[in-house]
Amino acid sequence: MIDVRGAISRIKKADRPKLVGLLVVLVLAVSVAAVLPKFMYQGTERGEEAQPPQEAVYRHPLSGISVSEQIDSPQVFAVMVDNHEEAWPPSGVDQAFLVIEAPVEAGIPRMLAFFSEEQTVDEIGPVRSARPYCLDWAAEFDALYAHVGGSNAALDLIASGGTFDLNQYWWGEYFWRASDRYAPHNVYTSTELLNAFYTMREEVGVAPTRLYDLWTFKDPEPTGKDGIGLYVDFWAPVYTVDWEYDGETGQYFRSQFGEPHVTEAGEQIVADNVAVVVTDIEIIDNVGRRKIRTTGEGEGSVLQDGIVIEAMWKKPSKSERLKFYSRATGEEIVMNAGVTWIEVVGSEEDISIE
């Protein structure tokens, strides 16, 4: 062993301060080298590399799907979409986060398709006329309601105020007519045009403040096996609807008149939740127009993850959100993130769940 003390004693006194300083620096360097790895790999197991911080994940407020940035109260577009057999196939409804399907005259179903402002949907339609009950469903989102004319009752309600309205009769530049279809089944719009109209109205101070309520969401839980599906009888066999659960994807695939219900783009319509609203439906004229109760509460069902939840639907007022509650527990049903379709019928005899 080296006699450091003796070596230092033999060095000239004048050189001793330099040597002591050098030793201090050496000791500090050794100490830093010893502790540095602990700071570099703090929080990891031995032999593992340090992991970058996880990106925050948010849920979209309207669909519940995961998004990388927080989105607060986006503008909603509600579009009346034709489901008459001469309007098939439709465009864009497969990209809506919510679709409410209800009968119009002669029991023919019509779809109210909801989109969020940041979506890019190049073609939505065919766009058809307004109905009073659809105004109530659009109102719960303070939605921009796009349509082509409407029943007298619906147009009177729009004229009285309270609806953020886009009528093709007065604002034709925000729609177009397809040349390969006959009227009235040939009017279309897009999210680009809807956003342009919204921006124009916002600049003149007539866009509403968005104060809508939200559902709660969870991730779907695919079962890997077949599950319970839904059959809906809309007046004529050509309009019967089947929702079949696929256990691999955890989604419900829609068929109409016994055939897969596909869009103009060839995509079969699917949903992550399928709900049923049973309510009062009354024929009010010789044309067969309907009056549908949209507020209050009633029985219903929610299909998700291959099972059915017996539910109560509640919508306290026209401007409040339609929600579903478990009949067994009374608690609000947590919806699967993704797409929801709601089928509105007048009786439980109009549906079959199996």
User: H-helix or E-strand containing 292?
Assistant: strand 290-292
User: H-helix or E-strand containing 202?
Assistant: helix 191-203
pLDDT of residue 57: 84
Whole-prediction pTM: 0.85
Mean pLDDT by 10 residues, the chain (354 residues): 46 45 42 42 46 74 96 97 97 99 94 99 99 98 98 96 96 98 98 99 93 96 95 90 97 97 97 99 93 98 98 98 98 99 95 95
Question: In this structure, what token pair is assigned to residue 110?
Answer: 């019509």
pLDDT of residue 236: 82
pLDDT of residue 42: 41
Question: In this structure, what token pair is assigned to residue 328?
Answer: 């067994």
pLDDT of residue 49: 59
Centre a 10 Å sphere on the Cβ of residue 123 and count the other Cβ atoms it contains: 18
Taken in order of first residue, the domains within the chain and their CATH numbers are 4-40 (no CATH), 66-203 (3.50.90.10), 217-353 (3.50.90.10)
DSSP codes of every residue in 147-158: ES-B-HHHHHHH
pLDDT of residue 56: 62
pLDDT of residue 291: 97
Q: Identify the sign of the CA torsion 225, 218, 295, 80.
A: negative
pLDDT of residue 235: 80
Q: What is the C-alpha to C-alpha distance for residues 136 and 132, in angstroms, rounded to an integer?
A: 7
Q: Residue 13 gets which letter from DSSP?
A: G
Using DSSP, state whether 126 is helix, strand or coil: coil
Render pLDDT for 160-175 as a digit per residue (tens, 0 to 9): 998 999 999 999 999 9
DSSP codes of every residue in 168-181: TTT-GGG-EE-TTS
pLDDT of residue 71: 94
Q: What is the C-alpha to C-alpha distance for residues 61 and 30, in angstroms, rounded to an integer?
A: 55
pLDDT of residue 46: 44
Contacts of 41 (CB under 8 A, 6+ apart): 48, 50
Using DSSP, state whether 23 is helix, strand or coil: helix
For the chain, give the percent of residues with pLDDT over 90. Answer: 80
Q: Are strands 340-345 and 98-103 parallel, antiparallel or unpaired?
A: parallel
Question: In this structure, what token pair is assigned to residue 27?
Answer: 């000791």
